[in-house]
Amino acid sequence: MSTSVVLPALGESVTEGTVTRWLKQVGDTVEVDEPLLEVSTDKVDTEIPSPVAGVLEKILVQEDETAEVGAELAMVGDGEGSGGDASDDSAAADDAPQAAEPEQTEEAPAEPEQAEEQPAEQEAASSDAPTDSGDATDVILPELGESVTEGTITRWLKQVGDTVDVDEPLLEISTDKVDTEVPSPVAGTVIEHLAAEDDTVEVGAVLARVGSGSAAPAEKPAEKEEAPEPEKAAEPEKAAEDEKAPEAENSAAPEKAPEPEKAPETEKAPETEKASEPETPAQTEKPAPTPAADEDVDGRVYVTPLVRKLAAQHGVDLTSVKGSGVGGRIRKDDVLAAASSSGSAGQTQTASAPATKLETSPLRGTTEPMSRLRKVIASRAVESLNTTAQLTTVVEVDVTKLAQFRDEKKAEFLEKTGNKLSFLPFFSLAAVEALKAYPVINSTMEDDKIVYPDAENLSIAVDTDKGLYTPVLRDASSKNLAEIAAGIADLAARTRDSKLKPDDLSGGTFTITNTGSRGALFDTPLVFLPQSAILGTGIVFKRPGIAKVDGADAITVRSYVYLALSYDHRTIDGADAARYLGAVKNRLEEANFAADLGI
């Protein structure tokens, strides 16, 4: 009995996904929940597990093909029909090279080479790859979210004439909500750029054309008739197995024999990105299946574009990272752990040094264009300052009792919720509760009217390598501390992993920014339209203070924090701000949060 493997729902606005890599091949045995394949959408890369244990009998959607949510991807059963399914293109492609392998030890090497090339060409044709006749495939700007209609080309990663692999990034696109890479849908040569850097193009527009490049392939038919065919066949397969070395020695000139020795040198070359990129359809046709499902033919571990980009951002050398995924595949968590350990090692070494010295930034003395996000932030900041009357009110809050309560509960909170209990959830809860009592702080101005929303949607400022994002925690005033802590942790993680949906960045009515996380005492944050106020929370610090001890004033060590509220003076008066901050201050100093923990 066979069970269908279907493409599950991957988000509210995601309707389809592209198969980027099959982790199992026809005939392989799989366990329940063992990953079968990788699927990529415009928002997330994920693995699809097997719903049952058995044998992969049929692959219905090939690599680089797109399937709709709910479509059948494969069949898993008891394996009775897996070996004899002649109609399965994937099975036929896998069986062809294996059948040709025994002939390599008995016959001249030229004929097995031709036998191996045929399935590769058929596979490339089935994947809509450009043909040798010079056919070109259009690269279009994909949908980047429901409300995103256009994007700006920030950088071309491949120039005209460069060769690209399937899913290898061609260019970088920036919108007002997200920055992303656009990969090549096929393997071939970049024939034409149809838009330049800094050009803004609409979703669905053609960005470039990728073809096979008719000049080089045109010479191959003539060369295959000549004796030195193995030499030509070896060129497109730079990462071929060592078993091809005897073929070159028997059928070509002596100087071609050392070519297989160059493969290890290629692995050590600085171009680690190419080494880790997805294989073309032709490269996936191996003479025999490799034991590690996530390794390329030359033994290098496959890395998704998302992980490769994350490694580049954190300066992590992927060749030194040990993957925890299937077959040793490197995951995002592996890269982040490597970056963290590298930072810790650097801190340890620095701590033992006589003085702390900062590294010189490579940006020093250079010029770079502003990113799309930075341009949007700059434009909105100037617009906000030019159209609103902003000022800031600051209060000092004694959070000694709150700090004691947090110390008592943080271990239990972490054990029961899995999230750390920082000060930010307390500040957030007090802030949104006070918004219900003083809704003018949560209001917006439309023409000559003041609009009071019926919910407190809290925007959380998140600092990333790309810039500042403010994802929204909706209906925050109805949540307890555990729910707020979990919501903040989720939004921050998805922001830094570039997994935010466009809807996550809209609908905020009030913003909180934790400038104290970087050690700032306080700042005067900037209000961004259409909101009317933003609360900045500084670092919690200790200093001597006056407190009542046995009814008398005494100097003791106290914990303090500064809260800074910036607001639009057109609708909010200083007295309104003071009343609001007073309510937040009283709530935090009382520290009666036992009933709000949610554990």
Q: What domains are there in the chain, each with its CATH number? A: 136-212 (2.40.50.100), 309-348 (4.10.320), 372-596 (3.30.559.10)
Q: Which amino acid is at 179?
A: D
Contact of 159 with 133, CB cutoff 8 Å: no
DSSP string, 263-283: HHHHHHSS-HHHHHSPPPTTT
As a whole number, mean pLDDT of residues 432-458 equals 95
Alpha-carbon 321 to chain mean position: 18
Angle at which helices 110-126 and 89-100 cross, to 10°: 170
Alpha-carbon 131 to chain mean position: 32
Q: Is 569 a catalytic residue?
A: yes
- Flag whether pLDDT at 326 surpasses 80: no
pLDDT tens digit sequence for 280-307: 333 434 444 433 444 443 445 556 666 7
Task: Give the three-class secondary structure for 401.
Answer: helix
- What the block records as the tokens of 348 is 């340890």
Which of 138, 162, 407, 573 is the catalytic position?
573
Residue in this structure with the two tokens 């990728």, named with its chain if needed = 210
Calpha distance 235→219 (Å, rounded): 13
- With b for 16 or more beta-carbon neighbours within 10 A and e for fewer, the 167-177 pattern comes to bbbbbbbbbbb
User: Alpha carbon of 267 to those of 18, 246, 264, 275, 319: distances in Å?
Assistant: 28, 22, 5, 7, 10
Which of 298, 497, 569, 596 is the catalytic position?
569
Q: Is 314 a catalytic residue?
A: no
Calpha distance 266→275 (Å, rounded): 8
Select the more confidently predicted residue: 360 or 217: 360
When mean pLDDT is compared over 58-72, 191-205, 331-345, 394-408, the highest value belongs to 394-408
Calpha distance 377→25 (Å, rounded): 47
pLDDT tens digit sequence for 302-324: 566 667 777 888 888 888 888 87
Burial of 226 (0-12, 13-18, 19+ CB in 10 A): exposed
Calpha distance 450→80 (Å, rounded): 70
Alpha-carbon 410 to chain mean position: 30
What are the residue ranges of helices labelled H in 353-399? Answer: 372-387
User: What is the structure's pLDDT at 571?
Assistant: 95
Q: Give the H/E segment covering residue 157.
A: none
pLDDT tens digit sequence for 102-155: 344 344 344 434 434 444 344 433 334 333 334 788 898 887 766 678 888 888
Q: Look up the pTM and report it.
A: 0.47
Q: Would you place residue 264 in the very low, low, confident or very high pLDDT band (cuts 50, 70, 90)?
A: very low
Q: Give the torsion sign (CA, 177, 181, 186, 190).
A: positive
